[in-house]
Chain A
């Protein structure tokens, strides 16, 4: 399929700094190849803005391969755009039509402060991890790889949860700006594996408390996170978090 050229109208959230009130501004994106990724389309728009002496649109990005978790915006009301299991950098312009108007907004949640335009401060996710999303290791000689037997099914289940890239789309998509899928994925990933079990109780208790402290909302089982997660992480991980939490609190 050969590339087409399309013209689009963008409505982009512009906010020059966190403390300044932002607004949606309209730009035209002309002669966009349908083979471009969404971020490449923004690059083209930015090139023109720079040429005209205007401030380019700030957006987060890094690997552009869908694996780092840096990119992400709400595109036409959908986190990472309307394609499922896709990060914004892997969303291609062939999924848009000539003449489309695209509204681009940053992740919205109380703990995610806008730094500039589409860039938000996601260090709240780091604080959640610091609250218990790790295993403590007494460093020494590397253990043999087969010293701790783990069933393949268990390893697969842990991998499913460990697929989280920490982009924050679950929080952006959640009607309540809850971080339950992010915490659920981390708690599941570690509690399934023998290395994570010794700290399982402490982890569940502390990460859940940290969510509230940071100002994230409460889960109401709407499953919007699951539908928007670029890594297809299931709300079953949230159910496992709930189980881990119940076990930790009531025993």
Chain B
């Protein structure tokens, strides 16, 4: 395993860790969103989804362990990269302007990442570390998201996630070496579409939850 540690310790190695774990989170985000869409179908559909999901409990447990592991890798590597990048320019510029490459999303990746981590902890406290029966979960969802401050926190968090995905999605393909004139415009477009889809799919839940309950 020595060669593997050596590889992932390099600059590109650490980026590969970010890319692979990031791709994992993108897939999770998509599945999570598809599951949550059942909420728009009403209480019964959502409860049926929760029941089906829980019937797969050994698989869910494996996925959860995998996601926690991915999160640890993504956060730890991201932190190392962030600190290394700060050290690479000890004396900054008095005036620095963007040349056109940088976007608001790309410039704020470490910060949006940190916000997502904080939100994730809150999200798990709200809906994961509670009684795991379909009824209790639905009560928690409708109860929490009916609260105005939670509505605002959840909608804001979805915005931050969308911003993170906006840069992260195409960026992971670039890191994996998949950048070509032929298909990079498509990857960019899918990234933006995915960010907007996540924004709509998750972001509307706190708004419409009153009608569902």
Using a CB–CB cutoff of 8 Å, the interface residues on chain A facing chain B are 11, 13, 24, 74, 76-79, 82, 84, 103, 105, 108-110, 173, 175-178, 180, 208-209, 211-212, 215-228, 235-236, 238-243, 245-246, 249-250
Contact = CB atoms under 8 A, between A and B. Distances in A.
A216 to B, nearest CB: 6
Interface of B: 3, 7, 10-16, 81, 84-85, 87-102, 106-107, 109, 167, 170-171, 174-181, 184
Nearest to A221: B171
Contact of A242 (B91, B176, B184): B176
A243 B184 CA distance: 15
A77 B95 contact: yes
8 contacts: A105-B94, A178-B85, A208-B12, A224-B101, A225-B101, A228-B99, A235-B179, A242-B12
B163 to A, nearest CB: 14
Contacts of B87: 110, 215, 217
Contacts of A219: 11, 15
Contacts of A220: 81, 85, 106, 109, 171
A224 B88 contact: no
A16 to B, nearest CB: 16
Interface centre among A24, A108, A216 (most CB of B within 10 A): A108
A239 B85 contact: no
Given A24-B94, A109-B89, A176-B85, A246 B101 contact: no
B94 A103 contact: yes
Contacts of A242: 12, 15-16, 174-177
A219 to B, nearest CB: 7
B106 A236 contact: no
B10 A208 contact: yes
A219 B175 CA distance: 9
Contact of A227 (B81, B92, B95, B100): B100
A10 to B, nearest CB: 13
B21 to A, nearest CB: 15
B1 to A, nearest CB: 13
A171 B177 CA distance: 20
A177 to B, nearest CB: 4
A240 B177 contact: yes
B91 A221 contact: no
A105 B93 contact: yes
A77 B96 CA distance: 4
Nearest to B95: A77
B94 A218 contact: no
B174 A239 contact: yes
Nearest to B10: A208
Nearest to B98: A224
A28 B123 CA distance: 58
B11 A208 contact: yes
Given A175-B102, A208-B12, A245-B12, A217 B95 contact: no
